[in-house]
Amino acid sequence: MAKLALLSVSDKTGLEAFAQRLVDDFGYSLISSGGTAKALQAAGIPVTKVSDYTQSPEILGGRVKTLHPKIHGGILARPDEAADQADLSANDIQPIDLVVVNLYPFEQTVAQAGVTLAEAIEKIDIGGPTMVRSAAKNNKYVSILCKPSQYDDYLAELADNGGSATQAARQRYALAAFEHTAAYDKAIVGYLSQQPLSQQDADGSASSSWAMEGSVVSTLRYGENPHQKATWYQTGASSSGWAAGKILQGKELSYNNLVDLEAARQIIAEFAGADQPAAAAVLKHNNPCGVALGDSLVEAYKAAYAGDSTSAFGGIVAINRPLDAATAEEMTKTFLECIVTPHCTEEAKAVLTKKKNLRVLEMADLLTGPKETVKAIAGGFLVQDADDIVAVTDAWNIVTEAKPDAALRSELLFAWKVVRHVKSNAIVVTHNRATLGIGAGQMNRVGAAKIALEQAGEGTKGAVLASDGFFPFDDSVRNAAAAGIKAIVQPGGSMRDQDSIDAANELGIVMVMTGVRHFLH
């Protein structure tokens, strides 16, 4: 009796050639359902429709096709179990050797604009995951393929092993199948959890479980340090984010490059949009060395680089405008690891070729980032919403007698947008839409302020200062005023806020409290 293969696929890439090889080279008989059977018949490949094999029609508009004992009995039967074989014989069921199933395109559907809940629900596959799991469970005897990219590997496996897959191969396919269904279920949960009256309880409590799944983009040379292994995964059914970016030149991306690039993307996303001025951010080790806005991209880059030219050596640069030749020329004057831009002009590409190891990436969408952040801890992990709240200056509380005019308010907003992306405790000093001093990651706020003010030097005269957290005492306010700072933006919320307000009033400087804290650990 010929071996039996069940084919039921949504993604029909490579289907006809694969099925023809199964029949011609390895003697398989085929059964298929719905559109898969039609595609094979149209290609002249012999196939039996599932409904003919089971003698049960497809019902409920195709919702029920393969949920039948002749299908799942054939998949789950064990050749070395006499009772199983007796059941097959009694019910006229043929063993199924190979299951080829991929699922309804749920992720691709919900990614489309304007998709309704009803449309999404119809893309939740039922029979497909059941067949996949059945075959994966019985991998001692059955092979399961759930991706077109596995077809050539399976055919080679048959060719190398007398027409049968090895146990090791079947186990490998089974693992990939369970990963596939886990990712599918995660996508459904993720979508439904965002719908009204869905997974979230009325009181807003979280789901009782949370999972993350990804497919390998590349194995990295190493992690943060050479002794650490690292792998880059992408989430979702199609490439997005950095996995969708285009590397124009340079060495392959490292773990640290990717971490820094994401930090750079988050900063530059603050200034995304056609209504925003040109912006440039220079980063090192997850912290900005300099960030600036300008009337032109080259002006913004020069100002960002000048914010801390020493630390910028070996840094990452992100910009919010297409990279032009003039800016590219400036960038080649120092050693940089990576440049990321929405687009690189041909003239800029020609300039950058003189730095052959410089990594240059095009990423059209620098705005869209993850909705959640995940951090591993011993015995588990923490999940939180991304800190992507948009600053609304109308909600700020101006707590001092001195009030900011429109220009000063704009400068305070720029400083506030930058400080939220600096490791806590964080202080940023800015003037004329450019950072002059950044104090990052200090154990106390006084230390962070001291670093930022000293780095800014004489530039503090008439500058503004932003703090990611409140001032527990008035000492930093007094130090800032002594250096010439004319305005401070901070969250507020300390029991001793009034001490800071009183000091600001005494010293004649503006203080704005945002009511929002931006710790970044």
What is the spatial distance between Cα 140 and Cα 168, in angstroms, rounded to a whole number? 9
Residue with tokens 């940023």: 428
Catalytic position from the list 137, 147, 251, 302? 137
Q: Which residues pair with 220 in a beta bridge?
A: 230
What is the spatial distance between Cα 514 and Cα 398, in angstroms, rounded to a whole number? 9
Query: Taking Cα atoms as reference points, which of 170, 183, 161 lies closest to residue 75?
Result: 170
Q: Which residues pair with 382 in a beta bridge?
A: 375
Kindly give, in sequence order, each residue whose CB lies less than 8 Å from that of residue 246, ignoring residues fewer than 6 positions away: 361, 362, 363
What is the spatial distance between Cα 321 and Cα 376, in angstroms, rounded to a whole number? 35
Residue type, 386: A
Residue with tokens 């997005």: 240
The DSSP element (H or E) to which 362 belongs, if any, is: strand 359-362
Q: Beta strand 278-284 with 143-145: parallel, antiparallel or unpaired? A: unpaired
Q: Dihedral (C-alpha) 302, 307, 308, 312: value to the nearest 10 degrees? A: -40
What is the spatial distance between Cα 336 and Cα 338, in angstroms, rounded to a whole number? 6
- What phi, psi does 6 have (nearest 5°)? -105, 120
Cα distance from N-terminal residue to C-terminal residue, the chain: 64
Helix (H, G, I), strand (E, B) or coil at 140: coil
What is the spatial distance between Cα 346 and Cα 338, in angstroms, rounded to a whole number? 18
What is the spatial distance between Cα 246 and Cα 98, in angstroms, rounded to a whole number? 38
Based on the residue annotation, tell me whether 137 is a catalytic residue of this protein. yes
- What phi, psi does 199 have (nearest 5°)? -65, -35
Angle at 519 between CA 268 and CA 235, to 5 degrees: 55
Based on the residue annotation, tell me whether 12 is a catalytic residue of this protein. no
Secondary structure of 206-257 as H, E, C letters = CCCCCCCCCEEEEEECCCCCCCCCEEEEECCCCCCHHHHCEEEECCCCCHHH
Catalytic position from the list 186, 251, 285, 349? 285
Residue type, 483: A
Buried b (16+ CB within 10 A) or exposed e, 131-140: bbbbbbebbe
- What phi, psi does 255 have (nearest 5°)? -55, -50
Is the separation of the CB atoms in 440 and 465 below 8 Å?
no
Q: Which residues pair with 143 in a beta bridge?
A: 98
List the beta strands (DSSP E) in 66-192: 98-102, 143-145
Is the separation of the CB atoms in 504 and 478 below 8 Å?
no
Which amino acids are annotated catalytic? 137, 285
